Amino acid sequence: MGSYLEVLKDITTFIFDIDGVLTDGQVVIMPDGEQLRRMSTRDGYALQLAKKKGYNVAIISGGRSETVRSRFTYLGILDVYLGSHDKLGTLDEYCLTYDIKPQNILYMGDDIPDYGVMKQVALPSCPIDAAIEIREISHFISTKKGGNGAVREAIEMVMRSQKKWFDTSTESDKLKDYGW
């Protein structure tokens, strides 16, 4: 496990998995087959703030829930790749589309499908309850569990290091009411 502090200044892009990162990994299956997930509003706040502050923000997930996509659209996150069974290929496509370099990316994953992507980025990250193989290659391990603020902690850490997290003179005027 390497030190992540030296790369914080270079991070311009946040990419996250959904299940186990933005959710606690639990799925409630409704009688009609719809799968319900819970997400943290604090993670949502950090995602939309990062986007507003000029960071690239993307979601790469093997899941296919369009309800999940609508949540991210609501937060201003339009680069949502669902049904990705080749996350490394999706990462390559995303980077090519936006001319993003791997040395500028923080990726947070929690399980084996995230392994290949995490080996390619500057700041592989995970929630504290991620699979052991993912924790072993992560340079930053959140003190929070997936779905319980791990995303917020990672975004806040990067933005604070770059002096972009909080400005009391302007923040309340700029931010849309996202239901908090």
pTM: 0.90
Phi then psi for residue 74, to 5 deg, are -55, -35
* 175 within a domain of the structure (yes/no): no
**Residue 180 banded pLDDT, cuts 50, 70, 90:** very low
DSSP structural state of residue 30:
P
Q: Give the least confident one: 32-46, 114-128, 136-150.
A: 32-46
* 179 within a domain of the structure (yes/no): no
* 172 within a domain of the structure (yes/no): no
Q: What is the pLDDT of residue 5?
A: 85
* 174 within a domain of the structure (yes/no): no
* 103 within a domain of the structure (yes/no): yes
* Total number of domains in the chain: 1
Structure tokens at 37: 């997930």
Judge whether residue 179 has pLDDT over 50.
Answer: no
Dihedral, CA atoms, 46, 50, 56, 59, nearest 10 degrees? 10
Condensed to tens digits (0 to 9), the pLDDT of residues 89-108 reads: 999 999 999 999 999 999 99
CA atoms of 46 and 53, how far apart (whole Å): 10
* 93 within a domain of the structure (yes/no): yes
Q: What is the pLDDT of residue 155?
A: 98
**Residue 65 banded pLDDT, cuts 50, 70, 90:** confident
Non-local CB neighbours of 130 within 8 Å, separated by 6+ positions = 20, 109, 110, 111, 138, 141, 146
Q: What is the pLDDT of residue 169?
A: 58
* 27 within a domain of the structure (yes/no): yes
Mean pLDDT across 112-135: 98
C-beta atoms surrounding 132 within 10 Å: 6
Judge whether residue 74 has pLDDT over 90.
Answer: yes
Q: Which domain holds residue 32?
A: 5-165
Query: What is the CATH number for 44?
Result: 3.40.50.1000
Per-residue b/e over 92-103, b at no fewer than 16 CB within 10 Å?
A: eebbeeeebebe
CA atoms of 142 and 82, how far apart (whole Å): 24
* Secondary structure of residue 111 in the 3-state scheme: coil
* 173 within a domain of the structure (yes/no): no
